[in-house]
Structure 1
Amino acid sequence: AEEKFDGSYVTTTSSDIEMMYDSWNSQGMQTVGLRFDNVVVPINATIINAYIQFTADASNSSSVSITIKGENNANSPTFSNTPNNISGRFTTDTSVVWNPSSWSNNSAGTNERTPDLSSIVTEIITSNGWQSGNPITFIITGTGNSSDLRKADSFDESASQSAKLVIEYSPNYNVDLAINSCISPNLNMYPDSATTVQVDIINYGNLDANNYNVSYSINGNLIASEVVNTPLSIGQNISFSFAQTADFRSIGSYILTAEVTILNDEDTLNNILTKNISVINEIDTLFFNQGSHWRYWDVSSNIASGWNDSLFNDDSWPVGYSQLGFGEGDEQTLLNNGLIGYYFRKKVNIIDTGQLNDIYLHMVHDDGAIVYINGQEVLRTEMIPLGAINNATPARQSINEDNENNFYTYKISSSYFTNGINTIAISIRNRSASNNDVSFDCYITPSFLYDYDGPYVSYNNGIIIVNEITPSGLITNTYNSSNGLQLTCTLPHMNTSFSFNLKSQIVTEPSTYPITPSKFLAISDFDGHIEGFTMILRREGIIDSAFNWIYGNGHLIISGDLFDRGFHITECMWLLYKLETEAQLQGGKVHLILGNHEIMNMTDDWRYVEVKYFNNASLMGKRMAELYDSDTELGRWLRSKNIIEKVGKYAFLHGGISPQLAALNLTYDEINDYGRIEINGLSCPNNDCITVNGSNGIYWYRGMVYQTLTQQQVDEFLDSLDVQRVIVGHTKGSTIRSMYNDRVMAIDMYHVDNFNNGYMEALQFELGCFYIFHTDNVNDTYTLLGDCDSYSNVLDANVNNGFNIFPNPNSNILNIKFPFEKLGLSNYKVIDVNGSIISSGVINSELSNIDMSSYSEGTYILTITNSKKVITGTFILKH
């Protein structure tokens, strides 16, 4: 696992281990945690040598200082994606400093090996109740930067090349046999009158062992005592099965105690092992709860045919309570890792299927699942491929990491069930055998309340199909024409709704707009958070309380990512769809620039989609890709949008402009055409297309906001695009940032956090000046951001026969001189850098005077407007 330097974020999935700098996080420096399972070292052993062997994932010879400590915990828990999960662990007093030599890519030699860690291992196994077979965790910190680091293969990248812990030890007793574990029975089991009892015996002594006795008892009653003559060499272990089986036919709790004895055993503390056994009823009710019991198979993916059939004999399968899985730390039953497929079976009894209506199956399935009832497949989750599959078929994508332990809901017809005993069989599929976790849980209910969503509008042979998700389920209506058809988005959490009509046609947006609007609001990455989005639109005067456009000829510009992570994405899209039509009627404009998350949702990439949308797609009988394909209204509308637009003197895009992209010298139309190739699922015809849509492309690149470019590069990039500034989203900050001498404006922020803290912000532009618009839904402020730009359609200031202000810098009285023939009816406003209007009035003579004596020193903005002209500029006040 890797943790940001300040502990604020932990990731448990990575293709490599960077020590100690990683570009995945904005802080660069990080803490690394390495956890090794099943470390078989006796508590009394003397550690001779210990080290971690890495395999290099890149060549590097720079100087790095690394400090290694152990977690001072005899049974170290697995890592989780919670803040400070690595750095917050209690560490050993002992530490080892490592200054690694040069690494060569793919090498796994002495240079890629840590110094001796025996002092750390010794401290761990001599404290906290260490037991052989427990895990050991190392916590790694150090120095570094983007050039000075070491990169090693991780388990996610390659299990065979992942870090390996090597421990050399010497046992301290000549004769020492131990019960290492009780293999069978499992902690939980169904009734069985002849259960095999199997234990693992290990020789910790310095001498070979033979002629020893093994016994077991149940609830204090001796059941079997058997002599074993199988020799055990030093360090060897065997799995021993008793000839005498155990009788667990009755439901209840049992204490099973196993013991090994040998003459002259020098450590008898490890001779006895006790295991609590719970015998439970195999047959469950149909409406069973989460955390229930299942038979499971986690030995290999090559499972016997017919495993999903009712008649399949699963007596050899162990029983466990869910959650079943590994790698998350929240499992009731721990499964083996390293498999593509995991298999689960449960029997339920139904007295009368005639009493059943629809059934709702709720499931945790990391990454995907296939569900069978009485041998018949009833559903595949989104991450399972369509078509023929076999036991080696992996999930086609990884599930959203934030939703790995959330329940997805699937409506199932009761017709799949019969009276009597029914078998539910489920296969969970990982993305790959090297995945570092898997999770499964399931329960069934007779009802489910869905969240409002929709409408979803699609077309089939000229018929309009409208699907809406309501708490009670799916409502579907069909129409022959859109004439007079009004659709409604319901927002019960806001106690409101809005209605709209379908467009008569959808036209591809132009890439460039020649005139800079007099005002616009730009925002990005609000991720379907309609409360915050509409709050800022209302406060800026873009919409009224009924969601109608009131912004006149102003522009609303979205620099990407209204998709993913949020819960009202559909409603946000329909609102923009509606406002787009209304704005056009008033001479205004709505621009939606596509970001990486829009592209992902149109190209079958669901890594960040919330559970709600999977539930709703399943309810509609659709795969996720069908929600926005070219046969849907929103899919067609999204495909009309661009990935970059030039609006007057400014370019709007989602990610940034990289040197690789700039070197192509593409036109706006060419960039957008390449974007549509990606959106439509076509193969890129050339490298230019690959660059536009790749990691250095227009909607993915972050280097511009990370300020890895030079001022000269940015100036050249923007000059080639013929713009004064670019406005980008994609890369978050605490507020809006102006960079590179005001030529780049980064507007992505933590909108959800901001809303929860009572405010929203966006970039506001008016008459050549940019402001951070801040609202708490009661008070609004406008903070000037950088210098104002010259604005088209203005009179020149301080030139012959033109508009004059003087003196500038000013001390007390600001004079405004207007040629009589150009005067007309003009209004003026003086605005400070915080966006507050400090003076306003009417210019009704050729020379007007404004008293500035009571205002603080600083820069002010003067704006003059009349029916034909708009004039703006700055002046300086000094007393």
Structure 2
Amino acid sequence: MKPLQSIHLFWLLLLSHSSLATPLAPQDNTPIYDGPYVFIEPGAAQPQTAHWICHNQLAQTPIKQAKLSRPSDCAQLPEPTLNSHATALLPDTYEGVNKVIALSDVHGQYDVLINLLRRHKVIDSQLHWAAGDAHLVMTGDMFDRGHQVNEVLWFMYQLNQQAQAAGGQLHLLMGNHEQMVMRGDLRYVHPRYQTASEQLGRSYDALYANDTVLGQWLRSKHTIVKINDTLFLHGGISQEWIDRKLTLSRVNALYRQHIDKSKPELKQDDLLNFLFFGNGPTWYRGYFKANFNQQELDNILAYFNVKRIVVGHTSQSQVLGLFDNQVIAVDSSIKLGESGELLIIEDNQLIRGHYDGARSIL
């Protein structure tokens, strides 16, 4: 079978997987532990209370000196320290970065994420940043499908601060599922989160609204970044981007400005309809189709003055290079909850980081 055909076959098989194609249904009566959820009260200088779901019931704890402490009988939920600088707007273009690590589409599979990062020494045994001045890029889709979305989010929130303190950086890019949740498209939310929604009296999207700590943090993030000679995003850049003469700074700003709009509102505007749907950067799958050609790719690479584009969104069984590694797909199906890979760019080499910690040249 030709490589492109095998890619198409894998994608079709993945889409047919019922837990990915349709909303999940509760499987058992396992007690729910969830949180924390931190809301920003009107007029308060800083958040005062953390909300938790402990054995299906709502519990609250005071926030002292920005530190969250879970109730004693509330399993092993995250206990983050709030960061007053978390929402600072970062550049979307970087030069001179020595090492870049990229992965995508975690979809609430916290354990797979932790194992993968630990085995490649991105984090240490205490789950703290251990990659020095490296840049870690998550190209979207932390939300939906899996059962540990909140764990993933708070882990990334903490890692963001630790990476910056070490001279590195975490780039948390918005994917189509972040956009879906924020505009209230909840078709793929794991049923675990029904309990928090009911106990807190908020729809799931409102748990990450602009009056929450995580919601404000997420809304400060870019959708596309350029690091050295590589462009990173969730879906991909199509020829339509070039025809519209768009820039990174303008598009990243438009995503942040309009991410809370409803689907009908977005579709009323021609540019927003392109950006948030169809051939836009968070949905595009053109690189994986038989009619996409080298000339079109050359035009895109030249427009951004890069050597390659790294994308998630279109699932593979591994980190995969296309068009002589000018397109690299990093959605390695972490969403299935079994394994995953990451991409390492270092010393002018492109490296597959395997789930067991081994490495191979791409």
Please list every run of 5 or more consecutive structure 1 residues that lacks an aligned counterpart in the other structure. 1-24, 31-80, 84-399, 409-447, 786-879
- Distance in 2 of aligned mates of 1:489 and 1:699: 35
- The aligned residue for residue 328 of structure 2 is 745
CA separation of 1:496 and 1:586: change in aligned 2, threshold 3 A: same
Offset, 1:485: 2.7
- The aligned residue for residue 552 of structure 1 is 132
Residue 713 of structure 1 aligns to a residue in which SS?
helix
Amino acid at match of 2:68: L
Residue 726 of structure 1 aligns to a residue in which SS?
strand
Alignment match of 1:507 (pick from 61, 65, 88)? 88
CA contact (8 A) 2:108 2:335 kept: no
- The aligned residue for residue 616 of structure 1 is 196
CA contact (8 A) 1:498 1:547 kept: no
Residue 358 of structure 2 aligns to a residue in which SS?
strand
CA contact (8 A) 1:450 1:473 kept: no
- Distance in 1 of aligned mates of 2:26 and 2:58: 22
Where do 1:156-555 residues align within 5 Å? Answer: 401-403=22-24, 406=26, 450-461=31-42, 462=44, 463-471=47-55, 473-479=57-63, 484-487=65-68, 499-505=79-85, 506-515=87-96, 517-555=97-135
- The aligned residue for residue 654 of structure 1 is 234
TM-score, normalized by length of structure 2?
0.86
- Distance in 2 of aligned mates of 1:489 and 1:667: 43
Q: Which has the higher strand share?
A: 1
Where do 1:667-686 residues align within 5 Å? Answer: 667-681=247-261, 683-684=265-266, 686=269
- Distance in 1 of aligned mates of 2:166 and 2:227: 18
Residue 275 of structure 2 aligns to a residue in which SS?
helix
Offset, 1:498: 5.2
User: Which has more radius of gyration?
Assistant: 1
Offset, 1:574: 0.7
CA contact (8 A) 2:26 2:192 kept: no
CA separation of 1:485 and 1:449: change in aligned 2, threshold 3 A: farther
Offset, 1:708: 3.3
Amino acid at match of 1:714: L
CA separation of 1:508 and 1:535: change in aligned 2, threshold 3 A: same
- The aligned residue for residue 3 of structure 2 is none
2:299 pairs with 1:720: no
Amino acid at match of 2:251: I
CA separation of 1:708 and 1:452: change in aligned 2, threshold 3 A: farther
Residue 760 of structure 1 aligns to a residue in which SS?
coil
2:288 pairs with 1:705: yes
2:150 pairs with 1:573: no
Cα displacement string for residues 705-730 of structure 1 (whole angstroms, at most 9, x for unaligned residues): 33532111111111101211110000
Offset, 1:460: 1.5
Amino acid at match of 1:568: Q
- The aligned residue for residue 36 of structure 1 is none
CA separation of 1:458 and 1:623: change in aligned 2, threshold 3 A: same
CA contact (8 A) 2:62 2:68 kept: no
2:270 pairs with 1:690: no
- Distance in 1 of aligned mates of 2:189 and 2:269: 30
- Distance in 2 of aligned mates of 1:489 and 1:711: 53
Query: RMSD of aligned C-alpha atoms?
Result: 2.7
Cα displacement string for residues 398-444 of structure 1 (whole angstroms, at most 9, x for unaligned residues): xx8343x6489xxxxxxxxxxxxxxxxxxxxxxxxxxxxxxxxxxxx
CA separation of 1:499 and 1:586: change in aligned 2, threshold 3 A: same
CA contact (8 A) 1:524 1:729 kept: yes
TM-score, normalized by length of structure 1?
0.37
- Distance in 2 of aligned mates of 1:82 and 1:456: 31
- Distance in 1 of aligned mates of 2:91 and 2:219: 13
Amino acid at match of 2:135: H
Please list every run of 5 or more consecutive structure 2 residues that lacks an aligned counterpart in the other structure. 1-6
Residue 317 of structure 2 aligns to a residue in which SS?
coil
CA separation of 1:526 and 1:547: change in aligned 2, threshold 3 A: same
CA contact (8 A) 1:450 1:469 kept: no
- Distance in 1 of aligned mates of 2:70 and 2:235: 30
Cα displacement string for residues 727-777 of structure 1 (whole angstroms, at most 9, x for unaligned residues): 000001121111122211011122254x53xx532111211211111132x
CA contact (8 A) 1:763 1:773 kept: yes
Amino acid at match of 2:61: N
- Distance in 2 of aligned mates of 1:82 and 1:528: 17
CA separation of 1:464 and 1:707: change in aligned 2, threshold 3 A: farther
Offset, 1:658: 1.6
Amino acid at match of 2:314: T
Alignment match of 1:598 (pick from 175, 178, 193)? 178
- Distance in 1 of aligned mates of 2:324 and 2:306: 14
Where do 1:33-52 residues align within 5 Å? Answer: none
Work out the number of aligned pairs and report it.
342
- Distance in 2 of aligned mates of 1:82 and 1:729: 18
- The aligned residue for residue 784 of structure 1 is 361
- Distance in 1 of aligned mates of 2:136 and 2:36: 23
- Distance in 1 of aligned mates of 2:213 and 2:17: 40
Amino acid at match of 2:119: R
- The aligned residue for residue 730 of structure 1 is 313
- Distance in 2 of aligned mates of 1:477 and 1:653: 37
CA separation of 1:536 and 1:488: change in aligned 2, threshold 3 A: farther
Identity of aligned residues (%): 32
Cα displacement string for residues 332-353 of structure 1 (whole angstroms, at most 9, x for unaligned residues): xxxxxxxxxxxxxxxxxxxxxx
CA contact (8 A) 1:657 1:704 kept: no
Offset, 1:611: 0.6
